[in-house]
Amino acid sequence: FAGNSTYLDDHGPPPQKVLPFPSQVVYNRVGKCGSRTVVLLLRILSEKHGFNLVTSDIHNKTRLTKNEQMELIKNISTAEQPYLFTRHVHFLNFSRFGGDQPVYINIIRDPVNRFLSNYFFRRFGDWRGEQNHMIRTPSMRQEERYLDINVCILENYPECSNPRLFYIIPYFCGQHPRCREPGEWALERAKLNVNENFLLVGILEELEDVLLLLERFLPHYFKDVLSIYKNPEHRKLGNLTVTVKKTVPSPEAIQILYQRMRYEYEFYYYVKEQFHLLKRKFGLKSHIRKPHPRPEFFIPSPLETEEPIDDEEEDDEKWLEDIYKR
Protein backbone atom coordinates (compact mmCIF):
# COMPACT_ATOMS: atom_id res chain seq x y z
CA PHE A 1 0.00 0.00 0.00
CA ALA A 2 1.10 3.55 -0.46
CA GLY A 3 0.60 6.39 1.94
CA ASN A 4 -3.06 7.15 2.52
CA SER A 5 -4.60 5.06 -0.29
CA THR A 6 -7.13 3.29 1.94
CA TYR A 7 -8.10 6.53 3.63
CA LEU A 8 -8.60 8.20 0.24
CA ASP A 9 -10.64 5.28 -1.14
CA ASP A 10 -13.03 5.36 1.81
CA HIS A 11 -13.33 9.05 2.53
CA GLY A 12 -12.20 11.10 -0.45
CA PRO A 13 -9.26 13.48 0.00
CA PRO A 14 -8.57 14.67 3.55
CA PRO A 15 -9.59 18.32 3.99
CA GLN A 16 -5.96 19.42 4.42
CA LYS A 17 -3.52 16.98 2.87
CA VAL A 18 -0.32 18.68 3.98
CA LEU A 19 -0.42 20.10 7.48
CA PRO A 20 2.14 22.81 8.32
CA PHE A 21 3.62 20.68 11.13
CA PRO A 22 4.48 17.00 11.64
CA SER A 23 1.05 15.37 11.46
CA GLN A 24 2.14 11.76 12.02
CA VAL A 25 3.91 11.07 15.32
CA VAL A 26 4.78 7.65 16.77
CA TYR A 27 5.74 7.12 20.41
CA ASN A 28 6.86 3.47 20.44
CA ARG A 29 7.11 3.59 24.19
CA VAL A 30 9.69 1.57 26.13
CA GLY A 31 8.20 -0.28 29.11
CA LYS A 32 9.04 0.98 32.60
CA CYS A 33 10.35 4.32 31.31
CA GLY A 34 7.65 6.70 32.51
CA SER A 35 5.38 6.08 29.57
CA ARG A 36 2.29 5.70 31.71
CA THR A 37 2.73 9.30 32.89
CA VAL A 38 3.22 10.50 29.30
CA VAL A 39 0.14 8.62 28.06
CA LEU A 40 -1.95 10.18 30.86
CA LEU A 41 -0.69 13.58 29.71
CA LEU A 42 -1.41 12.77 26.05
CA ARG A 43 -5.04 11.93 26.88
CA ILE A 44 -5.45 15.40 28.38
CA LEU A 45 -3.52 17.07 25.53
CA SER A 46 -5.45 15.33 22.73
CA GLU A 47 -8.72 16.72 24.15
CA LYS A 48 -7.18 20.15 24.57
CA HIS A 49 -5.47 20.45 21.16
CA GLY A 50 -7.74 18.26 19.05
CA PHE A 51 -5.28 15.71 17.69
CA ASN A 52 -6.10 12.04 17.19
CA LEU A 53 -4.52 9.91 19.97
CA VAL A 54 -4.30 6.33 18.73
CA THR A 55 -3.43 3.90 21.52
CA SER A 56 -3.17 0.14 21.66
CA ASP A 57 -4.25 -2.37 24.28
CA ILE A 58 -1.47 -4.73 23.22
CA HIS A 59 1.25 -4.46 25.87
CA ASN A 60 3.27 -7.60 25.32
CA LYS A 61 3.86 -7.95 21.58
CA THR A 62 6.79 -5.78 20.58
CA ARG A 63 8.14 -7.99 17.76
CA LEU A 64 6.01 -8.49 14.68
CA THR A 65 6.05 -10.74 11.63
CA LYS A 66 6.37 -9.05 8.24
CA ASN A 67 2.60 -9.33 7.69
CA GLU A 68 1.85 -7.91 11.13
CA GLN A 69 4.18 -5.00 10.42
CA MET A 70 2.43 -4.29 7.10
CA GLU A 71 -0.99 -4.50 8.75
CA LEU A 72 -0.05 -2.20 11.64
CA ILE A 73 1.65 0.36 9.38
CA LYS A 74 -1.39 0.36 7.10
CA ASN A 75 -3.73 0.93 10.05
CA ILE A 76 -1.57 3.71 11.49
CA SER A 77 -1.02 5.44 8.14
CA THR A 78 -4.74 5.65 7.45
CA ALA A 79 -5.57 7.19 10.84
CA GLU A 80 -7.04 10.68 10.75
CA GLN A 81 -4.25 13.28 10.88
CA PRO A 82 -2.83 14.87 12.90
CA TYR A 83 -2.37 11.69 14.93
CA LEU A 84 -0.06 10.45 17.65
CA PHE A 85 0.17 6.66 17.78
CA THR A 86 1.55 4.98 20.89
CA ARG A 87 2.26 1.34 21.71
CA HIS A 88 4.98 -0.87 23.20
CA VAL A 89 6.50 -1.91 19.89
CA HIS A 90 10.01 -2.11 18.46
CA PHE A 91 10.83 0.47 15.78
CA LEU A 92 8.87 0.05 12.53
CA ASN A 93 10.25 1.19 9.21
CA PHE A 94 7.23 2.67 7.42
CA SER A 95 9.08 3.55 4.22
CA ARG A 96 10.06 -0.11 3.75
CA PHE A 97 6.37 -0.85 3.16
CA GLY A 98 5.64 2.25 1.07
CA GLY A 99 4.23 4.37 3.91
CA ASP A 100 5.25 7.89 4.91
CA GLN A 101 7.85 7.70 7.68
CA PRO A 102 6.33 9.39 10.76
CA VAL A 103 8.19 11.44 13.35
CA TYR A 104 9.31 9.18 16.23
CA ILE A 105 9.72 10.17 19.88
CA ASN A 106 10.70 8.07 22.91
CA ILE A 107 12.03 8.12 26.49
CA ILE A 108 14.55 5.77 28.10
CA ARG A 109 16.08 5.49 31.56
CA ASP A 110 19.06 3.98 33.36
CA PRO A 111 19.00 0.31 32.24
CA VAL A 112 19.58 -1.30 35.66
CA ASN A 113 16.91 0.94 37.20
CA ARG A 114 14.50 0.00 34.43
CA PHE A 115 15.19 -3.71 34.89
CA LEU A 116 14.71 -3.55 38.67
CA SER A 117 11.50 -1.55 38.34
CA ASN A 118 10.13 -4.23 36.03
CA TYR A 119 11.36 -7.08 38.25
CA PHE A 120 9.48 -5.86 41.31
CA PHE A 121 6.47 -4.52 39.42
CA ARG A 122 5.82 -7.94 37.86
CA ARG A 123 5.72 -9.34 41.38
CA PHE A 124 4.12 -6.69 43.54
CA GLY A 125 2.47 -4.04 41.36
CA ASP A 126 2.26 -0.41 42.44
CA TRP A 127 0.36 1.98 44.72
CA ARG A 128 -2.84 1.97 42.70
CA GLY A 129 -4.36 -0.96 44.58
CA GLU A 130 -5.26 -4.57 44.06
CA GLN A 131 -7.89 -4.12 41.36
CA ASN A 132 -5.21 -3.27 38.80
CA HIS A 133 -2.99 -6.20 39.54
CA MET A 134 -4.84 -9.14 38.06
CA ILE A 135 -3.89 -8.40 34.49
CA ARG A 136 -0.77 -10.32 33.55
CA THR A 137 0.94 -12.59 36.03
CA PRO A 138 -1.65 -14.04 38.41
CA SER A 139 -0.23 -17.45 37.54
CA MET A 140 3.23 -16.63 38.96
CA ARG A 141 4.24 -19.29 41.49
CA GLN A 142 4.96 -18.10 45.03
CA GLU A 143 8.59 -19.25 44.92
CA GLU A 144 9.09 -17.20 41.76
CA ARG A 145 7.24 -14.18 43.18
CA TYR A 146 9.46 -14.11 46.25
CA LEU A 147 12.65 -15.01 44.40
CA ASP A 148 15.44 -12.93 45.93
CA ILE A 149 16.82 -10.53 43.32
CA ASN A 150 20.41 -11.43 44.28
CA VAL A 151 19.74 -15.14 43.79
CA CYS A 152 18.13 -14.40 40.43
CA ILE A 153 21.21 -12.43 39.27
CA LEU A 154 24.03 -14.45 40.86
CA GLU A 155 22.59 -17.84 39.96
CA ASN A 156 21.84 -16.85 36.38
CA TYR A 157 18.06 -17.28 36.28
CA PRO A 158 16.76 -16.58 32.73
CA GLU A 159 14.89 -13.47 33.94
CA CYS A 160 18.16 -11.92 35.14
CA SER A 161 20.55 -12.87 32.36
CA ASN A 162 21.09 -12.08 28.69
CA PRO A 163 19.29 -11.83 26.34
CA ARG A 164 16.38 -11.01 28.68
CA LEU A 165 18.26 -7.92 29.85
CA PHE A 166 18.71 -6.69 26.28
CA TYR A 167 15.52 -4.65 26.38
CA ILE A 168 15.92 -0.99 25.40
CA ILE A 169 18.05 -1.31 22.23
CA PRO A 170 15.51 -3.40 20.24
CA TYR A 171 12.96 -0.56 20.54
CA PHE A 172 15.34 1.53 18.44
CA CYS A 173 17.06 -1.15 16.37
CA GLY A 174 13.80 -2.45 14.92
CA GLN A 175 12.12 -5.66 13.79
CA HIS A 176 15.16 -7.42 12.24
CA PRO A 177 15.89 -10.74 14.05
CA ARG A 178 19.44 -9.54 14.79
CA CYS A 179 17.99 -6.63 16.78
CA ARG A 180 17.28 -9.12 19.58
CA GLU A 181 20.88 -10.30 19.88
CA PRO A 182 22.99 -8.32 22.37
CA GLY A 183 25.91 -7.02 20.32
CA GLU A 184 27.53 -4.31 18.22
CA TRP A 185 25.28 -4.79 15.18
CA ALA A 186 22.05 -4.05 17.06
CA LEU A 187 23.69 -1.22 19.02
CA GLU A 188 24.96 0.55 15.89
CA ARG A 189 21.69 0.15 14.06
CA ALA A 190 19.80 1.54 17.08
CA LYS A 191 22.10 4.60 17.17
CA LEU A 192 21.59 5.12 13.43
CA ASN A 193 17.82 5.03 13.81
CA VAL A 194 17.97 7.50 16.69
CA ASN A 195 19.87 9.89 14.43
CA GLU A 196 17.76 9.40 11.32
CA ASN A 197 14.22 8.70 12.52
CA PHE A 198 13.74 10.07 16.03
CA LEU A 199 12.94 13.71 16.59
CA LEU A 200 13.68 13.28 20.29
CA VAL A 201 14.77 10.51 22.64
CA GLY A 202 14.60 11.84 26.17
CA ILE A 203 15.94 10.64 29.51
CA LEU A 204 13.38 9.83 32.21
CA GLU A 205 15.68 11.18 34.93
CA GLU A 206 15.20 14.61 33.32
CA LEU A 207 11.52 14.29 32.43
CA GLU A 208 10.65 17.96 32.87
CA ASP A 209 13.27 18.92 30.28
CA VAL A 210 11.98 16.18 27.96
CA LEU A 211 8.49 17.70 28.20
CA LEU A 212 9.88 21.20 27.63
CA LEU A 213 11.61 20.10 24.44
CA LEU A 214 8.54 18.20 23.23
CA GLU A 215 6.54 21.39 23.74
CA ARG A 216 9.15 23.28 21.72
CA PHE A 217 9.40 20.75 18.86
CA LEU A 218 5.77 19.58 18.62
CA PRO A 219 3.62 22.45 19.95
CA HIS A 220 0.49 21.18 18.16
CA TYR A 221 0.65 18.13 20.41
CA PHE A 222 2.51 19.20 23.54
CA LYS A 223 1.71 22.87 24.14
CA ASP A 224 1.22 23.43 27.92
CA VAL A 225 2.39 19.89 28.76
CA LEU A 226 4.73 21.07 31.51
CA SER A 227 2.10 23.10 33.35
CA ILE A 228 -0.32 20.13 33.17
CA TYR A 229 2.41 17.80 34.44
CA LYS A 230 3.23 20.12 37.34
CA ASN A 231 -0.43 20.45 38.33
CA PRO A 232 -0.80 18.91 41.83
CA GLU A 233 -3.75 16.76 40.71
CA HIS A 234 -1.61 15.13 38.07
CA ARG A 235 1.37 14.68 40.41
CA LYS A 236 -0.90 12.68 42.68
CA LEU A 237 -1.68 10.30 39.82
CA GLY A 238 2.01 9.91 39.03
CA ASN A 239 2.78 8.93 42.61
CA LEU A 240 0.28 6.10 42.46
CA THR A 241 2.31 4.38 39.77
CA VAL A 242 5.52 4.03 41.77
CA THR A 243 6.47 0.38 42.10
CA VAL A 244 6.31 -0.98 45.64
CA LYS A 245 8.33 -3.50 47.63
CA LYS A 246 11.67 -2.90 45.94
CA THR A 247 14.88 -4.08 47.56
CA VAL A 248 18.40 -3.03 46.68
CA PRO A 249 20.59 -5.73 45.11
CA SER A 250 24.08 -6.23 46.52
CA PRO A 251 26.96 -4.29 44.91
CA GLU A 252 28.25 -7.60 43.55
CA ALA A 253 24.89 -8.33 41.87
CA ILE A 254 24.72 -4.80 40.42
CA GLN A 255 28.24 -5.18 39.04
CA ILE A 256 27.15 -8.37 37.25
CA LEU A 257 24.07 -6.61 35.86
CA TYR A 258 26.31 -3.84 34.51
CA GLN A 259 28.48 -6.37 32.70
CA ARG A 260 25.46 -8.15 31.24
CA MET A 261 23.99 -4.83 30.10
CA ARG A 262 27.08 -3.21 28.69
CA TYR A 263 25.50 -2.61 25.25
CA GLU A 264 22.40 -1.17 26.90
CA TYR A 265 24.63 1.23 28.87
CA GLU A 266 26.61 2.22 25.79
CA PHE A 267 23.31 3.08 24.11
CA TYR A 268 21.93 4.87 27.18
CA TYR A 269 25.02 7.08 27.51
CA TYR A 270 24.98 7.81 23.78
CA VAL A 271 21.33 8.94 23.96
CA LYS A 272 21.99 10.93 27.13
CA GLU A 273 24.87 12.78 25.47
CA GLN A 274 22.70 13.61 22.42
CA PHE A 275 19.92 14.78 24.73
CA HIS A 276 22.29 17.06 26.65
CA LEU A 277 23.61 18.54 23.38
CA LEU A 278 20.03 19.31 22.38
CA LYS A 279 19.29 20.89 25.75
CA ARG A 280 22.35 23.13 25.46
CA LYS A 281 21.31 24.15 21.96
CA PHE A 282 17.98 25.35 23.34
CA GLY A 283 19.48 26.99 26.40
CA LEU A 284 18.42 24.43 29.01
CA LYS A 285 21.00 23.81 31.70
CA SER A 286 21.59 20.31 32.99
CA HIS A 287 21.76 20.09 36.75
CA ILE A 288 25.10 18.44 37.31
CA ARG A 289 25.11 16.24 40.37
CA LYS A 290 28.25 14.75 41.79
CA PRO A 291 28.78 11.42 40.04
CA HIS A 292 27.71 8.40 42.04
CA PRO A 293 29.68 5.16 41.98
CA ARG A 294 26.50 3.54 40.68
CA PRO A 295 22.96 4.75 39.90
CA GLU A 296 20.78 5.91 42.77
CA PHE A 297 18.18 3.20 43.02
CA PHE A 298 14.74 3.41 44.51
CA ILE A 299 14.32 7.07 45.28
CA PRO A 300 10.52 7.21 45.04
CA SER A 301 9.54 10.08 42.82
CA PRO A 302 6.68 10.86 40.44
CA LEU A 303 9.09 10.04 37.62
CA GLU A 304 9.07 6.33 38.43
CA THR A 305 5.89 5.53 36.56
CA GLU A 306 4.90 2.14 35.27
CA GLU A 307 2.69 0.45 32.71
CA PRO A 308 -0.71 -0.74 33.96
CA ILE A 309 0.07 -4.40 33.51
CA ASP A 310 0.72 -7.39 35.70
CA ASP A 311 -0.87 -8.62 38.83
CA GLU A 312 -1.18 -9.01 42.51
CA GLU A 313 -2.18 -12.28 44.19
CA GLU A 314 -4.37 -12.56 47.27
CA ASP A 315 -1.47 -13.41 49.57
CA ASP A 316 -0.03 -9.97 48.90
CA GLU A 317 -3.22 -7.97 49.31
CA LYS A 318 -2.94 -7.89 53.10
CA TRP A 319 0.56 -6.47 52.77
CA LEU A 320 -0.67 -3.78 50.38
CA GLU A 321 -3.52 -2.81 52.72
CA ASP A 322 -1.00 -2.32 55.51
CA ILE A 323 1.01 -0.01 53.26
CA TYR A 324 -2.08 2.13 52.54
CA LYS A 325 -2.76 2.51 56.28
CA ARG A 326 0.73 3.81 57.08
- Asked if 276 is an active-site residue, the reply is no
Angle, in degrees to the nearest 10, between helices 111-124 and 251-260: 110
For 254-269, give the DSSP string. Answer: HHHHHHHTHHHHHHHH
Beta bridge partners of 24: 83
Buried b (16+ CB within 10 A) or exposed e, 93-105: ebeebebeebbbb
127 within 8 A of 301, measured Cβ to Cβ = no
Q: Which helix (H) or strand (E) holds 319?
A: helix 314-325
Which is catalytic among the residues 88, 220, 276, 292? 88
**Size (the chain), residues:** 326
44 within 8 A of 240, measured Cβ to Cβ = no
Q: Which residues are catalytic?
A: 88
